A and B are shown apart, each in its own frame.
With several copies, the nearest count.
Chain A
Amino acid sequence: MKASIPTPLQVRGEVISLKRVGDYFQLSIAAPGIAERMKPGQFVALAVGGQRSSMLLRRAFSIYTADPRGVFGGTVEIVFAVQGGGTKWLSQLQAHSPVDVVGPLGTPFPIPAVPVKALLVGGGYGAAPLFSLADLLRTRGCRVEMILGAATGARLFGVVEGRRAASQLILVTEDASLGLSGKVTDHLDAVVERSGTELIYACGPMGMLKAISFYAKTKGIPAQCLVEEEMACGIGVCMTCVLPIRGEDGLTRMTRACVSGPSFDGESVLWDSIGTIPAGTYGSEASS
């Protein structure tokens, strides 16, 4: 299932549009070269705050759509929630503002060699990377179902897009304002059982990813989880974005999410040990 990794570019992009979508913002950027080489599951890293910004680090966002033939050249779209200073600045951009973009970054989602029944699970803005994935999977003959969940309807992203991209779309909100009530994981088993799911892709909060991974393991279904680790560089040079991943050789390594991820086979992630160096990790005191 390995995909080849495109070489990233650094591009001075330009805002094409910024619009509110529920609780999120959808930002479209002309960034020639990036859309052309992007594969589903990759992200872009945006410089924030303008020229004399005190915010030094780029912000990472999953690529929502990539259109190599946009009116203004290759265009990428992201979806984001305002959290702190960086996303606040992004939410105040105007058409034609310059945005410095590095991408596409990260290892794309692995794509199965044969057609399978795939289930795509998105929590909140975590839905963003799943639509281009759905499209790709369908061109490979896969059957694609999708569950989108969030706390409220306003935080459910991509409902319209989901109907287009998936053969079946299940919506779940904690406040029951849209679709089923509860968390996505409350409804996972029913969907999997009914559909005969063979492969899961998930993107959303850590808690959700962990629950899905554990569930998938009990079912013997592989689950690809796209994680959000804090990233200082996004390109693999700083070692801030690591998490404990068990390799095929059985050895746990502190592995960079920005280059080896951001999506990992759920079973390889030591979910309970994130934020620690698990005993026996390659190079830990215990192991050496």
Chain B
Amino acid sequence: MTFKVISKHPAEEKSNIDLHTSLGSLSLPYPVLTASGCAGSGKELSNFFDLSKIGAVVTKSIMANPRSGRATPRMAETPSGMLNSIGLQGPGVEAFMNDDVPWLSKMGARIIVSIAGNSVEEFGRTAARVRRAGAVVSAIEINISCPNVSNRGLVFACAPQSASEVVNTVRRAVGPQFPIFAKLSPDVTDIVEIARACVDAGATGLAMINTLLGMVIDTKTLKPKVAGITGGLSGPAIRPVGVRAVWQVHSALPKVPIIGMGGIMSGEDAFEYVLAGASAVSVGTASFHDPSAAIRIQNELNHLLVHHGFDSLKEAIGFGHRQTEEKEDRS
């Protein structure tokens, strides 16, 4: 493909192009997903748009057992972002698979179930339970940004070894073909190293980024603003970090499909991730601001792709790399 110029004749534009995307063995008609934890179980967002018209609903990370989550306050607004400390509140995998998944499926939504665990074993058990539901679940996203109870609470995503163990265990639990995505934390020295470990352990692809570890101190009470003391930073504030992470991983592992996320508020932002190498994108915090963000962003992305003369989404994936001789270093 040759260099794309901004089309000067928007009137002549086709209005729709092929948005279909493939993430390894997972094929989706649309590239925009909800981000885990930002769409509840899907029901609430369905008041605002048709869930079957986006790529998939990624559900809130579910654990083996019911979880109360953390005490309140659980949030703080930050400049162009927010901090959350929910603590993975949820009904446990059994109730979730029995109540939420059938409803979503009835709505025609493609479902990606996000799972979490306090131990490698819990991940495996939860994945197996999800897999038992069969084709109603399109894929599993593995939220490895959880503390490993048996290793001083260190987050699985923070070391290649622990990340790899989780992915490997899930892979064995779901069988060789089923699409699984490891969701990476940006709070690491070398995200490519973790990405590689996950892929080597059997991940179909990667989802990135999870929130950044952050903190707000309330200058009225002089105490940390969220009960969990630290929390996860999300929203447009972190977008440059997410785009960088996707760019780096796509550079190193160009064949590995990536679900990009972090601060996507508009079609332009989604386009940035696609250009960096994402095959699909997830919309998280934006839905708090604009409940129909996912579908709006998908439409805006469509228009931008048309505007830039792309014939399909696939053509644009990683296009930023092809425009650049690589000479990455930093100040």
Contact = CB atoms under 8 A, between A and B. Distances in A.
B31 interface: no
26 contacts: A7-B47, A10-B292, A47-B290, A54-B79, A56-B80, A56-B289, A58-B288, A233-B288, A234-B288, A235-B44, A235-B48, A237-B287, A241-B72, A241-B74, A259-B44, A274-B72, A276-B71, A277-B69, A283-B65, A283-B66, A283-B67, A283-B68, A283-B90, A283-B91, A288-B65, A288-B67
A66 interface: no
Interface string A51-75: 0001111100000000000000000
A116 interface: no
Interface string B86-104: 1001111000000000000
Most B CB within 10 A of own CB, among A240, A282, A288: A240
The 4 A-B pairs with the shortest beta carbon distances in the complex, nearest first, are A283-B66, A237-B40, A283-B68, A233-B288
B65 A232 contact: no
Contacts of A47: 289-290
A56 B285 contact: yes
Interface of B: 37-40, 43-45, 47-48, 60, 65-75, 77, 79-82, 84, 86, 89-92, 227, 235-236, 285, 287-292
A203 interface: no
Contacts of A288: 65-67
A288 B81 CA distance: 34
B271 to A, nearest CB: 16
Contacts of A55: 77
B47 A275 contact: no
A238 B72 contact: no
Nearest to B75: A240
Contacts, number: 120
B77 A240 contact: no
B68 A57 contact: no
Interface of B, helix, strand, loop or mixed by DSSP: loop
Nearest to A274: B72
B71 A275 contact: yes
Nearest to A231: B75
Given A56-B288, A237-B38, A237-B39, A232 B66 contact: no
A268 interface: no
Given A54-B80, A57-B82, A283-B92, A242 B74 contact: yes
A229 interface: yes
Given A54-B79, A237-B38, A237-B40, A8 B69 contact: no
A57 to B, nearest CB: 5
Contacts of A148: none
B259 to A, nearest CB: 19
Nearest to B265: A56
A39 to B, nearest CB: 16
B116 to A, nearest CB: 13
A236 B39 CA distance: 8
Contact of A275 (B40, B227, B290, B291): B227
Nearest to B72: A275
Interface string A208-237: 000000000000000000000110111111
Contacts of A281: 68
Contacts of B89: 239, 242, 254, 283
Interface string A77-109: 000000000000000000000001010000000
